[in-house]
Amino acid sequence: MPLAPFMHGASYWVALGSLVTGDTLVIQSEVSRLVPSDVWRTVETEKVRAMIVVGEAFLRPLCDEFEGSPYDASSLQRIVTGGAATSTLTKQRILRLFPKALLIDTGGASESGRQLMQVNRLGDSVKSNVFRPETGTCVLAEDKSRRLEPGHEGIGWLARFGPLPLGYLHDEAKTKATFVEAAGERMSVPGDRARLLADGSVELLGRESATINTGGEKVFPEEVEGTLKAHPDVFDAVVVGVEDSRFGQRVSAVVQLRTGRVPDVASLDAHARERLAGYKVPRSFWFTEKVGRTPSGKPDYGWAHRFVKDHPEG
């Protein structure tokens, strides 16, 4: 049962794979938006075995609905998420609510296919951004000239070699930028930054295009967003860089509070400072009734930039 729109790879790849292998594809009744009650009724009625979602934007409202109403989801064996970050707190919550199911977090891109996987069971030590690399996945050096060895301290580029797309249709410049020659092989480098840890696992840091440069330090929004969403008052958050005369950019957050909660910047600041290096803590906060996300559930950073430009801070 893929829940994302079929324009997103998280749904259509799974859907096509299910159909060509003779499996059953289940589609909920309401397809124009996420309606958690409809999802759980469908799971209960159709005895869905696997559900595919896109990160926090799907999992948080699904958890809220499941906790508040009695549904039979005992048929669920796998909950698969990918395409957007899922926080450690939400992963732990999923495993508590569905103790018999595997939680499978995947990473990749249309230009590379699946590159990363993390499988968790109830009782596991859960991390939000450390994955086992799939065959063909590697981390390239900053200049994309060579593969990094496990344990290298530097930040590199997540890459994939092996069977790859030929390129982008009628876009030679983008093809040349994404599909590069490194260490004698053609590789796909969609733009994610990563570290290759000593045990061979990959720490996924975030997309380069969304990175905030504040006073010469790089801040990846996903880490800050995950920290803010662990605050009990916060339902959703998106983090962007806002122009700053002193630091170039300052880390700024647009926050959607849970129903009935009131803005408390001091509490959010203290929460972030306990968990993040000082330069990663948001210097500015905006509050909104609903955080903007793309139709597939990914953070809409373009919306966030427009929002902070059009609204007074606070």
Confidence of residue 280 (pLDDT cuts 50, 70, 90): very high
Q: Describe the crossing of helices 265-273 and 221-229 by its angle, rounded to 10 degrees.
A: 120
Across the range 162-170, mean pLDDT stands at 95
Q: Give yes or no for a contact between 33 and 3, defined as CB atoms under 8 angstroms apart.
A: no
Over residues 141-151, the pLDDT tens digits come to 999 999 999 99
Over residues 114-158, the pLDDT tens digits come to 999 999 999 999 988 999 999 999 999 999 999 999 999 899 999
| pLDDT surpasses 80 at 312 | no
Neighbour tally for 65: CB within 10 Å: 17
Q: Which residue has the tokens 């630091």?
A: 247
pLDDT of residue 12: 86
Residue 300, classed as helix, strand or coil, is coil
- Considering the segment(s) 9-127 as one domain, its CATH architecture is 3-Layer(aba) Sandwich (3.40)
Residue 308, classed as helix, strand or coil, is helix
Neighbour tally for 151: CB within 10 Å: 11
What single string gives the DSSP state of each residue in 250-285? EEEEEEEEPTT----HHHHHHHHHTTS-GGGS-SEE
Confidence of residue 23 (pLDDT cuts 50, 70, 90): very high
Q: Percent of the chain beyond pLDDT 90? A: 81
Q: What are phi and psi of 66, to 5 degrees?
A: -65, -40
User: Dihedral through CA 292, CA 296, CA 301, CA 304, nearest 10?
Assistant: 0
CATH fourth-level superfamily of 211-310: ANL, C-terminal domain (3.30.300.30)
Across the range 97-104, mean pLDDT stands at 97
Across the range 185-193, mean pLDDT stands at 95
Q: Give yes or no for a contact between 53 and 3, defined as CB atoms under 8 angstroms apart.
A: yes
pLDDT of residue 314: 57
Instruction: Fill in the amino acid letter for 134.
Output: E
| pLDDT surpasses 90 at 30 | yes
Residue 136, classed as helix, strand or coil, is coil
| pLDDT surpasses 80 at 313 | no
| pLDDT surpasses 80 at 44 | yes
Neighbour tally for 282: CB within 10 Å: 26
The mean predicted confidence, pLDDT, of the chain is 93
Over residues 51-67, the pLDDT tens digits come to 999 988 899 999 999 99
State how far the alpha carbon of 89 is from the alpha carbons of 30, 59, 94, 130, 246, in Å: 28, 11, 9, 14, 34
At 125, list the tokens: 């030590």
Q: Assess whether the region 9-127 and the region 211-310 belong to the same CATH fold.
A: no
Per-domain residue ranges for the chain?
9-127, 137-206, 211-310
What single string gives the DSSP state of each residue in 187-214? EE--SEEEEE-TTS-EEEEEEGGG-EEE
pLDDT of residue 110: 87
pLDDT of residue 273: 97
What single string gives the DSSP state of each residue in 137-172? EEEE-TTSSSBPPTT--S-EEEEEESS-----TT-H
By CB atoms closer than 10 A (0-12, 13-18, 19+), residue 198 is exposed
Q: Give yes or no for a contact between 107 and 205, defined as CB atoms under 8 angstroms apart.
A: no
CATH classification of 137-206 is 3.40.50.720, yes or no? no
Name which of 41-50, 76-85, 211-220, 290-299 the model is least confident about: 290-299
